[in-house]
Amino acid sequence: MKLDDVTISKMIVEGFTKDFLDYMECDVAIVGGGPAGMTAGYYLAKKGKKVVLFERKLSIGGGMWGGGMMFNKCVFQDAAKGILDEFSIRTTKSSDGYYVTDSIETVSTICSKAVQKGLKIFNLISVEDVMIRKENITGLVLNWTSVMLAGLHVDPLTIRSKCVIDATGHAAEVAKIVVRKIGKKLNTTTGDILGEKPMWADIGEKSILKNTKKCYPGLYVCGMASNAVFGAPRMGPIFGGMLISGKKVSEMIS
Ligand code: 48F
């Protein structure tokens, strides 16, 4: 076979454009490809939903690759073992009952399983705004991360989805956009983002489950963003809550 450079380029542009057009209308749009967002995407795809995930960076995985302080191990509690098993991620059980995984295996496996189940991931795209109709989030406003980094004046594009999940981690970026654009109307005690509290793994991990919920019509929050929106502690490099939160939000939406 004689390879043709321009044919290769055409295949890339055609393939990407076809996918991008296809996912401009979907059931669920997830913002952020960390452990919570990818787990949510896996379970939603498994339920047959048309689900897309936008990740700002070149690589998915969020804060998981680096384990804790770049020691690339992840720790999980017992409650998350079933999800690790569902993904066939290998674990080492400690005498205290924690499970330790290799962070590289964990991120790459969750991503691979989610994509093969049907989650569509677009990387290098940042969500910069939301579409709101009749006080309901109905879609996302996207731009290339490189455009934003370069500070170029380029208008974005918009996609429509039946609901949106904010899985942007500590920054809770989608919830912040809502407050910035339409005021303190979130489903919190003040309507505002309550803010993340200092490190406390035990309370942080327990809170994340109750904080995984709808925070505005059409907008759900999961993972670390839940504790940032609803005012609960961070938990550092224990990742069970992220997977459980991702699964929980998928069940709420399904
Ligand atoms: O931060 P991240 O890993 O969030 P998570 O899934 O997990 C949190 C843990 O990693 C850790 C922790 C607990 O163990 O505290 O931090 O809740 O992943 C969030 C992803 O969202 C992307 C960001 O690049 C990261 O990969 N992201 C953030 N804002 C945007 C975005 C945006 N506006 N558009 C697209 N992607």
Q: Which CATH number fits the domain that encloses residue 47?
A: 3.50.50.60
Query: Is the pTM for the entire model greater than 0.95?
Result: yes
Domain assignment present for 79: no
Is residue 131 within 8 Å of 158, Cβ to Cβ? yes
Closest CA to ligand 1's atom 28: 168
Average pLDDT, the chain: 98
Residue 17 in domain: no
- φ and ψ at residue 182, rounded to 5 degrees: -125, 10
Domain count, the chain: 1
Task: Print the domain residue range for 156.
Answer: 27-62+111-253
pLDDT given for residue 115 in this prediction: 98
The answer to whether residue 78 sits within a structural domain is: no
Residue 151 lies in a domain: yes
Alpha-carbon distances, residue 24 vs 19, 27, 30, 50, 52 (angstroms): 9, 10, 13, 11, 9
Residue ranges for the chain with pLDDT beneath 50? none
Q: Are 115 and 121 in contact (CB under 8 A)?
A: yes
How does pLDDT run across 104-150, given as a tens digit for each residue? 999 999 999 999 999 999 999 999 999 999 999 999 999 999 999 99
β-strand 120-123 against 51-55: which pairing, if any?
Answer: parallel
Rounded distance from Cα 10 to ligand 1 centre (Å): 33
Best CA proximity match to 37, nearest among 187, 203, 191, 223: 223
11 located within any domain: no
What per-residue confidence (pLDDT) applies to 35? 98
Look at residue 123 and tell me if it is in a domain: yes
Residue 215, helix vs strand vs coil: strand
In a domain, 132, yes or no: yes
Q: With a 6 A CB cut-off, is 167 part of the ligand 1 pocket?
A: yes
166 lines ligand 1 (CB under 6 A): no
199 belongs to a structural domain? yes
Indicate if ligand 1 lies below 6 Å from the C-beta of 224: yes
